[in-house]
Structure formats: C-alpha cells, structure tokens
Structure 1
Amino acid sequence: MTTPAIIQGGMGVAVSNWRLARAVSQEAQLGVVSASLLAVVQARLLQQGDPGGHLRRAFAHFPLPGIVKQVLADYFVPGGIPKDQPFRPVPMPSVQRNPRLEGLTVLSNFAEVFLAKEGHRGQVGINLLEKIKLPTLPSLYGAMLAGVDVVLMGAGVPREIPGALDQLAAGEAAELKLHVEDRPVDQPPVITRFDPQALWERVAPKLPRPRFFAIISSATLALTLARKSTGVVDGFVVEAPNAGGHNAPPRASHTLSESGEPIYGPRDAVDFPRIRSLGLPFWLAGGASRPGKLAEARAIGAAGVQVGTAFALCDESGIVPELKRRVREWICAGLAHVRTDPLASPTGFPFKMAQLSQTLSDAAAYARRLRRCDLGYLRSLFQREDGTVGYRCPAEAPEAFVRKGGDIAETTGRQCLCNGLAATVGLGQVLPDGSSELPILTAGDELRELGRFFDLSRESFTVRDVLNVLLGNAPALT
C-alpha cells in the first residue's frame, strides 16, 4: 500500500461522508469517512427516502441479506417522511447486546466504506473516537467487510484497538474494557463484546486487517501506543491544538485565557525526534492546509499532513450547502472566528466551535434549547448502588443528570454534540414545537485563513481545488 501525502480528516457526524472520502481517494490521497453516529445517520437518510438510492445500492452488496431486510423494514420510507415529521428513534448504544442496533451499525459502516471505495482503487480510511466505545467493534467489523484500508482513532488512548482488529480479521470475537464511574477497583471490568460469528450461519470469514493510525498529541503517547498496544500500530497522526473538533487538554496549565479558552504552552510542544525514532510514518494535523506546510512536515520526517477544515467546506462534504455558503461568505468578509470551548463537549475534552449565528455557538440559541439526551453516543457509564450499570450525560437535562448521581457543576455549558452535529449535515431532529435542532459547526483555528482556497465569484469549490493548493499544483488565492 502506498503512503499518502495527504490524509483528509475524519470530521464530525457525516461531514466526512463517502462522497468527500471518495473524491479524495480518487486523487491518490487517503479519503476518510467518519464513523460517528453512522447508525443514526443512515437510519435518518433511509427515512428521507434514501435520496439517490445510494444506500440501497451499497446494501445490495452486503453479504448478510437478513440484516438488510430488517434495517429496511425498520427505517426505509419510500419517498421520505414529511419534513415536519420527527425521525423515528434509533436505540441508544448500551452494554447489553441489541441485535437490531448491532446489525444496523455493521451495515451502516459497511455501506459508508463501500460507497467511498466504489469505482476506483484508491485507499479509504475510517475515523472513530476512542471515547465512543460501545459501537466501536461492530463499526470496525462493518468497515472491514467493505475492505477499509486504514482505521484512525483519537480522543483517548486506543491501546486495545490494534488487537481487536487482529481478532476481527480472523473472524474471532473481540472485547473492549469500558470505564465505569463509581465502580470499585476490586470489581472485574465491564466489557463490550462483539462476536462476528453471531451474524453468520456459516463460519465467519477471515478479512484483511486494515492498518491502524493513532491520532495523538504527544511523543509520550506515541511511545506508549507503539510499545504497549495489544497489536501493531502502523502510524500516527500528530494533532496540534489548533486542529478542529476535540483537542487534547493542555498538559501544564489549567487556567483559561481572558476569552475563556485553554492556554497551551511549551509542555504541549511535540518532541518530533522521539516520534521519528519509532520508525513509523506520521502525519501532522492542525493548520496543515497552509501552502508550504507539506514541505515543512516532510523536512522534519513526516510522511505528510492531515487536513480537515478546508475539505469540510468543499462541495463534496456533508455540511448542508446553505451553511457552507454562509461560512464561505463569512470567511471572505474577514469575520470568521473559532473558539476552543473547554466545557462544550460532554467528553471533557476542549472542543472547537465556529462562532456563527443560527448555530448553537450563539448564547441565546443555546439558552433556548430544551436539554435532552435522545441519541446517547457520548453518555458516560456509572455504577448504580445495586451494582448495575447506568448511563448519564452532562449535556442532558441537569435534573436528570443529578438524579443519576452526577455533579450539577459538570452540566454547566455542555452542548449536545450528537444532535448539533447531526443537524450540521441536514439530519437534525424535528422538535415538539415544530422547530429543528440547530447545528454545531466545528473547525480548526485556520478557518479565518481559508479564503486562500476560494472566492465568491466561483459557485463551486471542490476537493481537487484544495489538493491542487496543498500539493503545489496551483497557487493559493491572494
């Protein structure tokens, strides 16, 4: 397999969809789909009538037709539901096995990767968050059934993933340990388990094992993963704190700037010689769309760069066209601003949000939203007094969080990323009052500088336009 110069970031909920990944891969770089909430994304697309018939085309190639039949019966609506009708809910991930949710998760990840790989021979990756563990194993298996080439994972320490890939590739069951708050240390760990054999009437097939790239922010984490993971780590994406989405917390300072943002300092600088000493390929992420950055990365021994935000504004990305148009105009007017919010994400990681009106970055819009948790992908697990496992999210209604033993202070400023990011790609839930969930737009700090890629006289802005600038095949706009 070739080593790409450019990795397209796996962004948000369906921002890095199959169309974007496919376009990047067709240009001989690594296109990446996002696995986040894919079961919800595709269940809602099916309820919209499966525009273009793409999902059903992919489903026709899925080797387990019984799962396809069940998913279509549960969610497909010919012609689509009325726009003012709420989407049918998808079961929330839980420790207890739910065969229907498991089948939907496997199928949706298969379909996303299948469509991204369809009609070309380029490489396709899939991005997952370590913090979202419950759907990880069926997500990986579905992607592997479609022949995914690379698995990328960040937002945590994914030591168990390389070994899980080995087991799934062999058709064997895999397990991940789950963090359960309030669980005594002398009790056995709670695990999530996925057995491919449960899906098959014959022996589960052996599958190609994809490469695994860990998304990291320090040389210490790179060394830990390279030496202590359950299987082989094949490379690293080294992400700086100016990258979009979730960021690693600062290592030294717990104070905030005057604008209420985390302060990064010398201890957050990456020791690239130590990473280089591992002998594994690595890519730089964060501010990497600047012309000349690829050459700088290679000069310090990197294989290339990972770029997210510039691709997020391409025609091929999943962000709804009207929102992309507004953001491009905002950038060209010199008004773009991104804030690193230390509280927004239920995960506790700093999270970058573009400060744009008619999104949940608007304080008034945030205050009007009735807090709820109806998707559940960022819920934390906790142990109840009777020893059973419960689920809570600091972005849910504060009274519900406290009733489950949570600290009221943890609810301050939290955003429902699940619903907000789904709305960003046109899949926001319709609320009881007839309105819809508002979007959350995450972007890297370089958002304000992306006018170098486009001007408002052009209606189209594509993956090829971005790659031409990144690879030096076309000058940036001045």
Structure 2
Amino acid sequence: MNDVCPVPGERGPARIGTRTAERPGGHPAVIQGGMGVGVSGWRLARAVARTGQLGVVSGVALDVMLARRLQQGDPDGHLRRALASFPFPDVVERILARYYVAGGIGSGTPYKPVPRLGLRPHPGRTELTVAGNYAEVFLAREGHGGPIGVNYLEKIQMATPAAAYGAMLAGVDYVLMGAGIPSEIPALLDALAEHRPAQVTVTVAGADTGTRHTVEIHPHTLYGTATPAPLTRPRLLAIVSSDVLATYLARRPETRPDGFVLEGPVAGGHSAPPRGRLRLTADGEPEYGPRDHIDLAKVAALGLPFWLAGGYAGPRALADALAAGATGIQVGTAFALCRESGLDDKLRRTLLDAATHGTLTVRNDPHASPTGFPFKVADIPGTMADPALRAARPRLCDLGHLRTPYVKPGGAVGYRCPAEPVDTYTRKGRPADETVGRTCLCNGLVAAIGLGQHRPDGYAERPLLTLGQDLAFLRDLPDDHTAADVIAHLLGGQSGVCTDFGPSGGLQALDPQDGPS
C-alpha cells in the first residue's frame, strides 16, 4: 500500500516568513471534498485533518462569509482571534471598522454589501478576500499536525490571486482547483510564495483574439516595503473529469500540477457536462456515456498521484482505488452531512432524515447553475429546489461571484449573469432563453449555511442545497455521524493508514465525539 500518512508534529499559528519543512511520507489516502460555500468550513476541515487525512476548506466567497459573520458579532470570537494573528494589522483594522458589529446586527437586518468581483483593482475587495481566506485556513490548522487544503473554482478567476495569497499566508498545504483548466495556477503559487506580483488570465466573452485580460495581486500593497521571508508553496491538485485534460496539464512543467482528483458525474455540486451533444434522460438529467469514463491507466502513466472522487464513500471503494494505482479517494457528501459540517443544522438534519428514509432526491440539473455546468440540487421543501419558490424570488445578482465579464459595444468590459433580471441580461446582448431555469447559486448557497441576506423590501434569501447522488454510505454510518465516523468507515480494514494525530502529534484513537472546541 502507498505511504499515505503525514508525519505528525505540533503545528501552531502560521507566521509570515516562516518556511515550514516539506512534509515527507507522501499524501493522505482520504481527501475531504471542498463542498459549497462554507459547508466545508474550518471546523470540518480541522476534524478531518486531526485524523491524519486531508481536511479541505471551501475557498468560495470567503470574503462574504467573513463580512457577514463579523456583522453577526463573531459571538465565539474565533474570527477575531484568527485576524489578530494576521501579519498585516492595518488591513485588519480597516476590515473590523467596516464590518464588525459588537453584539451583532438585529434579526432581519440586511447585511452590508461587499465589493463584487471585477477586473479593476479594488483595495478593499482584495483585503477582504485575503483576510477571509487567511482566517479560514488559520482556524482549520489550529492545534494539530494534519494537512489542510483549500478548494477553489477555476471559473471564479477574478478572486483567485487574492484568495490563494491569503490561504498561503496561513500555511495551507494543498490547493485543489476544478471547474476549469488550472493551467496558470502553478506559476501563480510560485510567485505568491515569494510575495511577487501575480496574475491569472480572465476569460472575457467577446474579447478579440490576442487580447488578454488579467486580474492580479501586488502583495507589497499589503505588507509595505520590507519584503517578508518566502512562504511554503502548497501542492496543487487539479480536479478533472478527463484523462485528456490530465495529460494536457501534465505535459509541460509550467502547467503541471502536483496531482489530480479524478471526479465522476455523481459527485456533488458542479459536474462537467457530457462530452458530445447534450442528451437528457427521461428525468431531465444529462446522460453520460462511455466517452465520459476516465482512463485510469493513462492517468497513472503520467507519474503523478491521483485520487478518485464521486461515489467512493466506502472501504471497498478505497481498496479498489488503491488497486487501480490511485493514491486514495476524495469524499464529499458523507462529510457534508456530518456534525461538523457548515450546513445550517436544521437543514442538515432534514437532509439526513430524508436520505435515511429513502425519500431524498438529488437531481443533476442541467439548467440551475449560471455557469452552464450541470449542478446537483437536493429536493428539500422550502428551498430553492422548489420551482414555485424559484419563480417567486425577485431576480437579483448582488453577490456576483459567477458573473461573466464581456466586452460591451465600444470596448469596455461589463458583467452579466443569466440569473439576473431577464431584461437586464437581454440588454447586455444575450437571448432570454439563457435565463430559463437559472438559479442564483451565490445567494442560495450562502443561505444554506445560515448567512442568507434579508433585503430592505423584506425578502429573505432561501437556501439551495447540493449533495452527491450516491447516498448508499449512510447505511454504514451511525445516526448523526461525525467526521471521525466517516474516516473510521472509509479506512476500515486498510492497514498502514494513520488514524489520528492530536495536538502533540501523538497517535490517538478515533473518538466519534471528537468535534471542534
């Protein structure tokens, strides 16, 4: 069996300019997927990492989460404790002055907006994104020696440089990226590790061939004139659904990641569309065929570690993955439903009850996401899975993480989203039929973790829930299971795989009651 255990050791708060030693001994066997907005929060990632496996925080919309939780008053003080260790105190002072509300805003009070993503530099947006990613990773890393990763969507290009820099300042071990082709991310991480200016290309619809639009970060605007010591460069895992894409990324040093997560179509959240012409099943879901199967032998021949994802939440699946040459598996839904999940607890229990009783349906909706990618939607009453509730929502794009930049007549860059008001979208040169069925994922996913917006007109954003379509693992887990229960289930019978590294780095037995402090 592969050597999958990280070396134990106590790890305290990240300090800028302190280069931590490379962890020898290979990679973890289990990666906890970076689900949703805040579902894979720091509590869940920390609980998984304490078992020696890879705990992953979702890096999507951490600017929004930080701002709204500060407006809630940060009642447990975790965010302010994390920000107190942030290496640029002037940044923290500005963020707290703008967003922190002692005691929290009143029930039903609208949250103060945050700057939306865009191509033009915006210091306040950059600072909030850097600090939000730093705080989430800092809290996930506290008190143990296990590995922590952060998951980004390549589709959300305009957030990537600032988000990755914040995570690296906190000492993140892995960056995982899907929903696109992360060919520029290796160079981005190299530059950020040395605090150099870094950029990524942003896809702009209608741009002339040869015209390159970019978004960048200049770290010196945060730290001033005295350049800090280098940061540890995290490992990059590209999340792909094709051996062709894996081969493309691996062929050149400048695009080559440090490994792959090979994701099948039953995994939660976004999925790659089927190859070829889109065909729908009788239930209205995308139909996948032989062309969508990943050739594991071709990926293994690339010589990079890889993990299998989508329907692998069991010990037999892990054994099969290892036998096929994989380093391990990535599991999402089992962790999304555990106690440490960031989901609103009432919604989490509703999902668990429905799944346990066999009444839960998870649809791979080809239209729901503004991105055009199929998106898994869990059918729960009272959520945005209900077509009537979707239709009743006043269309508004006020968070804008999934907006598409486009070239307006005259050459300026504008932004559009098929979930925004239909007349607004059509005025931007697109047909109305592209708006049919589109759901505001940004607001729905934020509402699913208890941070939904209350608009001045009284409308409260409703949650949108996403899970994977394989729920068979639940029969093998205790009721109201923990992250440690999931790890114990997945590693059952796997010799040579670590169990738990506690705060002192010593090997400990898994404790089903071991949750966040």
Q: Structure 1 length normalisation: TM-score?
A: 0.96
| Aligned match of 2:481 | 461
Correspondent of 2:465 among 441, 447, 450: 441
Match of 1:288 in 2: 312
Question: Shift of residue 105 of structure 1?
Answer: 0.6
**8 Å Cα contact 2:334/2:473 also seen in 1:** no
**Residue 252 of structure 1 is aligned with which of 276, 280, 288?**
276
- 1:198 maps onto 2:221 in alignment: yes
**What is the CA deviation profile of residues 69-120 of structure 1, one whole-angstrom value per residue up to 9, with x for unaligned ones?**
0000010000000111010000101101110110011011001000000111
Q: Deviations over 1:309-343 (max 9, x none)?
A: 00001111100110011111111211011100011
1:204-226, CA deviations, whole angstroms, 9 ceiling, x for partnerless residues? 32211000000001111101111
State the 1:432 CA deviation: 3.5
Instruction: Work out the CA distance in 1 between the residues paired with 2:448 and 2:488.
Output: 27
CA contact (8 A) 1:160 1:229 kept: no
Q: Which amino acid aligns with 2:360?
A: A
Q: How does 1:71-82 map to 2 (within 5 A)?
A: 71-82=95-106
Residue segments in structure 1 that go unaligned for 5+ positions in a row: none
Secondary structure of residue in 1 paired with 2:56: strand
Query: Where in structure 1 do 4 or more consecutive aligned residues deviate above 2 Å?
Result: 202-205, 228-232, 431-435, 447-452
CA distance in 2, matches of 1:164, 1:369: 39
CA distance in 1, matches of 2:164, 2:309: 23
Alpha-carbon distance between aligned partners in 2 of 1:449 and 1:362, rounded to the nearest angstrom? 26
- 2:435 is matched with 411
Alpha-carbon displacement from aligned partner over 1:338-392 (angstroms, at most 9, x marks no partner): 1000111111111011111111011111111111000010000000111110000
**Structure 1 residues 182 and 231: alpha-carbon distance in aligned structure 2, compared to 1, 3 A threshold:** closer
Q: Which structure has more RCO (C-alpha within 8 Å, separation ≥ 6)?
A: 2
Structure 1 position 448, deviation (Å): 5.8
Cα shift at 1:232: 4.1
1:170 aligns with 2:190: no
Contact in 2 for aligned 1:196/1:204 (Cα 8 Å): no
Q: Distance in 1 between matches of 2:472 and 2:101?
A: 40
Asked if 1:182 corresponds to 2:206, the answer is yes
Match of 1:269 in 2: 293
1:124-181 CA-partner distances (Å, limit 9, x unpaired)? 0000000001110000000000000000000000100011000111111111111111
Q: How many residue pairs get matched?
A: 469
Q: CA deviation at 1:203?
A: 3.3
Asked whether the equivalents of residues 335 and 483 of structure 2 are also in contact (C-alpha less than 8 Å), the reply is: yes
- Amino acid of the structure 1 residue aligned with 2:284: G
In structure 2, what is the equivalent of residue 61 of structure 1? 85
Amino acid across the alignment from 1:193: E
Q: Is 1:331–1:449's contact at 8 Å kept on the other side of the alignment?
A: no
Q: Is 1:333 aligned with 2:353?
A: no
Q: Secondary structure at 2:274's aligned position in 1? A: coil
| Correspondence 1:225-236 to 2 at 5 A | 225-228=249-252, 230-236=254-260
State how far apart, in whole Å, the 2-side matches of 1:454 and 1:184 are.
56
CA contact (8 A) 1:334 1:448 kept: no
Letter aligned with residue 484 of structure 2: R
* Structure 1 segment 62-461 matched on structure 2, within 5 A: 62-186=86-210, 188-205=211-228, 206-228=230-252, 230-447=254-471, 450-455=474-479, 460-461=480-481
Cα distance between partner residues in 1 of 2:73 and 2:375? 33
Kindly report the root-mean-square deviation, in angstroms, between the aligned alpha carbons of the 2 structures: 1.3
Kindly provide the CA deviation profile for residues 262-301 of structure 1, in whole angstroms up to 9, marking residues without a partner as x.
0000011110000000111100000111341100100100
**Structure 2 counterpart of 1:140, one-letter code:** A
3-state DSSP class of the match of 1:33? strand
Residues 1:347 and 1:468: Cα distance change in structure 2 (over 3 Å): same
- Percent identity reads 52
Which amino acid counterpart does residue 13 of structure 1 have in structure 2?
V
Q: Aligned partner of 2:225: which letter?
A: R
| Cα distance in structure 2, aligned partners of 1:125 and 1:11 | 12
Match of 1:381, SS? strand
Q: Secondary structure at the match of 1:51?
A: coil
Q: Which whole-Å CA distance do the structure 2 matches of 1:335 and 1:438 have between them?
A: 21
Q: Which amino acid aligns with 1:124?
A: I
CA distance in 1, matches of 2:392, 2:116: 25
Contact 2:307 2:326 in 1 (8 A): yes
Query: Cα deviations across residues 452-471 of structure 1 (Å, max 9, x unaligned)?
Result: 3233xxxx421011111111
Range 168-177 or range 220-229, more displaced: 220-229
In structure 2, the gaps of 5 or more residues are 1-22, 495-517
**Secondary structure of residue in 2 paired with 1:52:** coil
After TM superposition, give the deviation of residue 252 of structure 1 in Å: 2.8
Separation (CA, whole Å) in 1 of partners of 2:178 and 2:255: 16
Alpha-carbon separation, structure 1, partners of 2:188 and 2:105 = 38
Q: 2-side partners of 1:234 and 1:324: how far apart? A: 34
On the 8 A contact 1:48/1:77 being kept in 2, the answer is yes
Which residue does 2:46 correspond to in 1?
22
CA deviation string 1:38-85 (max 9, x = no partner): 000110000000120000000011000000000000100000001110
